[in-house]
Amino acid sequence: MSDSITFQTLAQILQNEHRVDPARIRPETALADLGLDSLALMEFVFSAEDALRLRLPEDQLDPRAAGITLGELCEAIERFAAGQRETEEAAPGRAAHA
Amino acid sequence: MSLVRAAGGGREPILVTGVGFVTPLGGTAAGLDAALATGRCALAARPLEIEGLGASLVPVAACADFDDEAAPRGPSGVLPDRGTAMALHAARQAFADAGLAPGAADPHRVGVYWGCGMGGAASFDQATQALYGEGRRLRPTTVLTTMPNAAVAELSMAFQARGASISYACACASSAVAVGEAMRAIRGGWIDLALVGGHEALLTPGVMAGWQAMRVLAPVSGGGAQGACRPFAADRAGFALGEGAAALVIESAAHARRRRAPARVALAGYGTSCDAQHISQPASEGQVRAMRLALADAGLAAADIGHVNSHGTATAAGDAAEAASLCEVFGAHGVPVSATKSLHGHLMGAGGAVELVCALRALERQCLPPAAGVAEPDPAFGIDLVCGSTARRVPGLRHVLSNSFAFGGTNAVLVASRLD
């Protein structure tokens, strides 16, 4: 998990933009335990969506409300991205735009 | 005269115990002094290309060495506007210079009085460019980083100023008003110490195009912009857009004494007035009133002032009005006048604070900066302008005055004095 591109991207954003201690950036760390307030969490998700070129629908996953871990967030992102790729193949030219 | 009686005359001087700045002429006292002593001009011609408008060149004075992306963020953790990053940098310097660690003063007796002209306009320009031009959504923090009090909010958190946190927006007089209003708050007993100053960073295409449309910017060619801003010259043709920030820690004499803070200069007087006549055309009457109020507030006569750092925008109407005002208050050729916008550009909301810092450097060094690019002032103006490329030595200089006159008619004048 911690080797995946998705996780590495999230880790980089947390370190560079939010100065989160790298020791805290582990798959089992809950988002609530990253030391980010609600505003910073919104910024984090925003940056992650931009970096990974996707948008997480809030009705399916609202990381602000969920007590999910970084690992679970990565899985949700990858699941969503896979679903998006399938849609894209079925109807090309409608990629989500950051 | 009635103005003097109204102001009471000679109020308590407020000590300047710390100074910090980011300017197109550098960010250290030594660098700024060297630039002011030799009339180094930081103006440059910057290409402006906007689809549909064609290409042009805009005169700017940028802080080339200031890297806002590398600068530490403020306490909010939010990626700041460039101007806010400059404000934080200048304020940290000022607090360090004042020997004042965060929390060293009673937070409830500390205030931030800060000026900016257009707030986060440049950030908003970039955000909307991305929104409309590229279909990119706005960041969740867009409002928080572009509101005019974005910098003040960061500053009050950073330095635990809980007594007041006020952002003044009166165009080119913003930071001069901020300084003056803080003086009043200290004298009135509301606070003991204030972080004062202002910032502005507007060098994005949309904002530059806005200023260009006003036709107040000096024409520049591919050859550059050295000497393009020529205040009070007969061939003056406008100013350059500057960016930067200046911060001062000021405090009551009693508070400075209690914490044994050394100070060499004091803010002696503040005068503000409004023309209430025209949104962009200045009126001499209001300027004269503001200068006389500042003198009365300092308990000084016009003859006591040894140097004026003028507003000096190099616009046709602006300089004519100010020259008439200077002659009215000081008499023809009555006081040596500098016009430092010729060197560091027009810093808009930060201008008053940056030009006050220049006046304080002049006071400290007994040396008046020249208006580079000006061979001589328009003889019709009757003012003693320091011009050419060398500074003028003025041994014994004790009191200086700095003018800030804004779009909207707000006039703000500050008087500073040596304490020795």
Domain ranges of chain A: 5-90
Give the domain ranges of chain B: 14-258, 265-418
Whether the CB of A42 is below 8 Å from some CB of chain B: the reply is yes
d(CA A63, CA A26): 16
Determine whether the interchain pair B77/A97 forms a contact, defined as Cβ–Cβ distance below 8 Å. no
With CB atoms and an 8 Å threshold, state whether A43 touches B140.
yes
Of B238, B241, B208, nearest to B43 by C-alpha is: B241
Mean pLDDT of B100-113: 89
More confident residue, A55 or B288: B288
Task: Check pLDDT > 60 for residue B194.
Answer: yes
Please state, for a pLDDT cut of 70, what percent of chain B lies above it: 97
| pLDDT tens by residue, B5-27 | 444 456 889 999 999 999 999 99
Q: Which residues contact A7 (CB under 8 A, 6 or more apart)?
A: A1, A27, A70, A71, A74
Q: How far is B92 from chain A (nearest CA, A)?
A: 20
Query: Using CA atoms, how far apart are residues B113 and B127, in angstroms rounded to an integer?
Result: 27
The domain made up of B14-258 is a member of CATH 3.40.47.10? yes
Per the prediction, chain B carries an average pLDDT of 95
Parallel, antiparallel or unpaired: strands B193-200 and B244-251? antiparallel
Mean pLDDT check: name the lowest of A69-73, B41-45, B200-204, B355-359: A69-73
For residue B154, the chain A residues in CB contact (below 8 A) are none
DSSP letter, residue A2 = T
Looking at the domain covering A5-90, what would its CATH class be? mainly alpha
Residue A67 has pLDDT above 80, yes or no: no
For the cut 50, the answer to whether the pLDDT of residue A62 exceeds it is: yes
B108 included as an active-site residue: no
Residues in B closer than 8 angstroms to A43, CB to CB, are 78-79, 139-141
Give one DSSP letter per residue of A12-63, joined into a string: HHHHHHH---GGG--TT-BGGGSS--HHHHHHHHHHHHHHHT----TTT--T
User: In the 8-state DSSP scheme, what is residue A98?
Assistant: -
Pick from A18, A43, A97: CB nearest B139: A43
Element (H, E) at A69: none
Which among B346, B358, B387, B399 is annotated as catalytic?
A: B346
- What lies within 8 Å, CB to CB, of B216 at 6+ separation is B238, B239, B313, B315
Q: Is B143 on the interface with A (CB under 8 A)?
A: no
Provide the pLDDT for residue A97. 46
Sign for the CA dihedral angle at A32, A37, A39, A43 comes to negative
Is B311 known to be catalytic? yes
Decide if B331 contacts B360 (C-beta within 8 A): no
Amino acid at A43: E
Query: With contact defined as beta carbons under 8 Å apart, do B87 and B197 qualify?
Result: yes
Degrees to nearest 5, angle at CA A46 with A40 and A50: 145
Taking an 8 Å cut-off on Cβ atoms, the answer to whether A43 and B144 are in contact is no
Q: Does B135 contact A at CB distance below 8 Å?
A: yes
Which helix (H) or strand (E) covers residue A95, if one does? none
Distance of alpha carbon B26 from alpha carbon B119, whole angstroms: 22
Contact B224, B300 (CB under 8 A): no
CATH class of the domain whose range is B265-418: alpha beta
Q: Three-state SS for A96?
A: coil
Catalytic residue among B311, B344, B358, B387: B311
A75-79, B55-59, B96-100: least confident range: A75-79
Asked if residue B121 has pLDDT above 70, the reply is: yes
Average of per-residue pLDDT across B366-374: 96
State the average pLDDT over residues A62-76. Answer: 79
Candidates B311, B336, B353, B298; CA nearest to B115 is B353
Query: What angle separates helix A38-52 from helix A70-90, to the nearest 10 degrees?
Result: 40
Q: Which residues on adjacent β-strands are paired with residue B309? A: B338, B402
> What value of ipTM does the predicted structure carry?
0.73
Q: Does the annotation count B274 as an active-site position?
A: no
Distance from CA of A42 to the nearest CA of B (A): 7
pTM, whole model, 2 decimals?
A: 0.92
More confident residue, B5 or B147: B147
**Ramachandran class of B342: left when φ > 0, alpha when ψ lies in -120 to 50, beta otherwise:** alpha
pLDDT tens digit sequence for B299-328: 999 999 999 999 999 999 999 999 999 999
